[in-house]
Amino acid sequence: MKSKSVFIIIFIIAVLVLVKILFLSPKTENKPTQKGGGAKPPSSVLVYIANKENIDNKIFATGTLQANEKIELRPEISGKLVAIYFKEGTRVQKGALLAKIYDSDLQAQLKRLVYQKKLAKEKSDRLKSLLDIQGVSVQEYDEGITQIKLVDADIEYVKAQIAKTEIHAPFSGLIGLRQVSQGAYVTPSSVIATIQETNRLKIDFPLPEKNINYVKLGDKVQFKLDNADTYYTAVIYAMEPKVDEQTRDFQIRAICETNSPTILPGSFARVSINPSKEQTAIMIPTEAIIPELKGKKVFVVKEGIATSTPVTTGFRNDRKIEVIEGLTVGDTIVVTGIMSLRPNDKVSIKEVLNN
């Protein structure tokens, strides 16, 4: 009985040893080659030789349309608005009479002054006849002449006041909505309506200071509105002579000649510019760029070794991206297999893509 128990114990121990050997022992056949047992083979990669290319670098911006001329029509003096001669939303010509303020009192003053001038003139004529026969002194005659001049000055003043009771269109344009009614008492702070020159529109838009050398006066720009797919043309005619210290942008103003009723001041415009100055830049395939937490990098091959190089990028199109800093013409850039590469890995060049 005792020998039987010993046999069972030995059998169990043998089974446990066999399980450990077969299933629990570490496998050695897949271990990486130890140092000195063989080096990692070079990675086979495709590369691109950095060089400068002409780029079609359109500049895009957003801007706002503005009327070439725009003012609020306000009276110069206070008074009762006795007449309105315009219809809302219609076009008026420069100089057209748009509104009239009560001026009967001023007209009465003018009439009175005209009579005073007539009397002063008759008196001056009599004094002149008497002066010829030495019936009056030269001083008395001069006083008569001075009286005429004083009345003339008063007449000019009253006429100027009467002119202020009339509101004329300062330029040809489109009248907006009327803000007051006939019969209302208005003051110089009262807005009667607005008038805008809409057949010539200005477009104001900002550009980054890095583009300051690529635009000039006279350049044409294209723009479109969100409410239409039509592109319109405008011409740059003015630029702000300084860069904004906060945004680092400079302001540009272009003018568009148009009679389209769909283009209205205040509209949002998407602007595109073809730079007048041809641009060249180092362009590399976009797949060569590796994003990092602090920027971007590429792998540059030098003597068969992949070196990690930080870069600053700029303009990009559907296939390539501009490298502003970090590369020089002639650098060999790894394009494929970059995610498995580590700095200072050996590489073998399989193909140069731009040869």
Q: How confident is the model at residue 251 (pLDDT cuts 50, 70, 90)?
A: very high
Whether the predicted pLDDT of 35 surpasses 50: no
Whether the predicted pLDDT of 30 surpasses 70: no
Which residues, 6 or more positions from 136, have their beta carbon under 8 angstroms from its beta carbon?
A: 127, 130
Whether the predicted pLDDT of 297 surpasses 60: yes
Q: What is the mean pLDDT of residues 334-350?
A: 88
pLDDT at 276: 61
Q: How confident is the model at residue 43 (pLDDT cuts 50, 70, 90)?
A: confident
Pick the CATH number of 71-193 from 3.30.465.10, 2.40.50.100, 3.40.190.10, 1.20.1730.10: 2.40.50.100
Looking at the DSSP bridge assignments, the partners of residue 81 are 101
For the ranges 33-47, 65-79, 185-199, 278-292, which has the lowest average pLDDT? 33-47
The predicted-structure confidence for 178-208, as pLDDT tens digits, reads as follows 999 999 999 999 999 999 998 899 999 999 8
Query: What is d(CA 288, CA 297) in angstroms, rounded to the nearest whole number?
Result: 9
Looking at domain 43-56+279-352, its CATH class is mainly beta
Q: What is the mean pLDDT of residues 221-242?
A: 89
Whether the predicted pLDDT of 130 surpasses 50: yes
Whether the predicted pLDDT of 244 surpasses 60: yes
Pick the CATH number of 60-69+195-273 from 3.30.70.20, 3.40.50.300, 3.30.70.260, 2.40.30.170: 2.40.30.170
Phi, psi of 160 (to 5 degrees): -65, -40
Query: What is d(CA 218, CA 233) in angstroms, rounded to the nearest whole number?
Result: 12
Query: What is d(CA 156, CA 150) in angstroms, rounded to the nearest whole number?
Result: 10
Whether the predicted pLDDT of 87 surpasses 70: yes
The pair of structure tokens assigned to 181 is 């009614």
Distance of CA 249 to the CA centre of its chain: 9
Domain boundaries defined on the chain: 43-56+279-352, 60-69+195-273, 71-193
Strands 279-285 and 320-325: antiparallel
The pair of structure tokens assigned to 189 is 């702070």
* Highest mean pLDDT: which range of 34-43, 67-76, 223-232, 309-318: 67-76
Whether the predicted pLDDT of 94 surpasses 90: yes
At how many degrees (to 10) do helices 138-163 and 104-132 cross? 160
pLDDT at 216: 87
pLDDT at 183: 93
Whether the predicted pLDDT of 66 surpasses 80: yes
The mean of the pLDDT values for the chain is: 86
Looking at the DSSP bridge assignments, the partners of residue 325 are 312
- What 3-state class would DSSP assign to 29? coil
Q: How confident is the model at residue 340 (pLDDT cuts 50, 70, 90)?
A: confident
Q: Are 80 and 185 in contact (CB under 8 A)?
A: yes
For the ranges 99-108, 234-243, 271-280, 281-290, which has the lowest average pLDDT? 271-280
pLDDT at 125: 80
* Highest mean pLDDT: which range of 160-164, 294-298, 303-307: 160-164
Q: Are 19 and 317 in contact (CB under 8 A)?
A: no
| Residue whose pair of structure tokens reads 């283009």 in the numeric block | 263
